[in-house]
Amino acid sequence: MRAEVYLNDQIQGPLVSGVLRPLIFLPASLDFRDPELLRNILLHECAHIRRRDNLMKLAALLALCIHWFNPLVWLMINWISRDLEEACDETVLTILDIQQRQSYARALIQMSRKRLKFAWNYCAFSRNEVERRVRSIAAYKPLKKIMTAGCLGLLVCFTMITAAAAQTPFSPDLSSMCSSADSRFMLEAELTRDLNLPSTQEIRSRADQALIQVLRENPQDGLNALREKAATALAAEFHAEPRAFHIDVYLNLSEEKLNQEYREHELIYDHERYTYQGKKVRVMEDKMAGRYSMQSDGQVDVYIERDDRGEIVKVKTYIVKD
């Protein structure tokens, strides 16, 4: 790669400056008569440029400007700088043989300087830091492709397992079937999206209480008004939008009263089956009342239609053809 190199008599170690047009600065006190030292330093600094490490340092600096009061962020800056140096060392070592690695380690030792007593920032060439990096170079062994692929495979599997374990299956169930003695209807609520509510009896009890309260306060309302008010009440209870709840409305009628309504429209229930105008019923459906019956030998299909108040407005019939 092509990179501009400058000398500076105010710095004590080599560095890369700039983001869009990074430049390499070398201390003027460097021994330029040692070609191996110069080559190793330039390899390391070029690795910083290739990896665009200054972008990472800029992001870390912005975080520090915002959270300057947080000691953990100051610690993070030091750890990021240390990790970037180690990554550059590893990048250079991959293209060097054993003898060249020894030369690279000697270059680090030669560039080391005494650590300042009260230095708050990371120093790549302090004695302690260089000693640690030299140990890493001595223990460096390039990973084989099979080992690299195996590590990546394990990482992917672990990520998928933990991600799957962290997700709780979404259940739409929210309330029980709620009724009130004063209302003609019963209400039941389901979720249309995940609200991250714990699946506990307390949540179901809160939903039931909200629906029962709606029925008690609005005993004369029709099913559409009850749906809207129930969804609004649940939205206030669980801090969500009304569309997050689906409300089912059913008739709150006893079996005796329901059969009485059917008889008024010539639909008779007797001996576990329905008859309509004296004909055996094959299919009988009353969605609002939650009634459905089917017999194989019927002569007519009957469908009950009700209005917003739950009153029967039409009985649709279809003759079954042989």
Torsions phi, psi for 52 (to 5 deg): 55, 45
Angle at 94 between CA 88 and CA 96, to 5 degrees: 105
Strands 245-251 and 185-191: antiparallel
Tens-digit pLDDT profile for residues 241-272: 999 999 998 888 888 888 888 889 889 988 78
Across the chain, the runs of DSSP E, i.e. the strands, are 5-8, 15-17, 23-27, 178-179, 185-191, 245-251, 267-270, 273-276, 279-286, 291-294, 300-306, 312-319
pLDDT of residue 38: 87
8 Å CB contact between 82 and 51: no
pLDDT of residue 148: 67
DSSP letter for each residue of 266-309: TEEEETTEEEETTEEEEEEEETTTTEEEE-TT-SEEEEEEE-TT
Q: Choose the weakest-confidence range: 125-134, 193-202, 231-240.
A: 125-134
8 Å CB contact between 177 and 230: no
pLDDT of residue 98: 75
If DSSP codes are grouped into helix, strand and coil, which group holds residue 70? coil
Q: pLDDT class for 114, splitting at 50, 70, 90?
A: very low
Strands 15-17 and 5-8: unpaired
pLDDT of residue 258: 87
Query: Which range scores top for mean pLDDT: 30-39, 96-105, 107-116, 275-284?
Result: 275-284
Q: pLDDT class for 35, splitting at 50, 70, 90?
A: confident
Interatomic CA distance for residues 238 and 236, integer angstroms: 6
Q: Choose the weakest-confidence range: 72-86, 107-121, 170-184, 281-295.
A: 107-121
More confident residue, 306 or 123: 306
Arithmetic mean of pLDDT, 55-69: 91
8 Å CB contact between 48 and 84: yes
| Residue 165 tokens, joined | 């374990």
Torsions phi, psi for 257 (to 5 deg): -70, -35
Q: Choose the weakest-confidence range: 13-27, 124-138, 280-294.
A: 124-138
| Residue 23 tokens, joined | 């430049």
Tens-digit pLDDT profile for residues 123-176: 555 555 556 666 666 555 555 566 667 778 888 887 776 655 455 577 888 989
Strands 291-294 and 300-306: unpaired
Interatomic CA distance for residues 56 and 208, integer angstroms: 53
pLDDT at 201 over 60: yes
Arithmetic mean of pLDDT, 97-119: 65
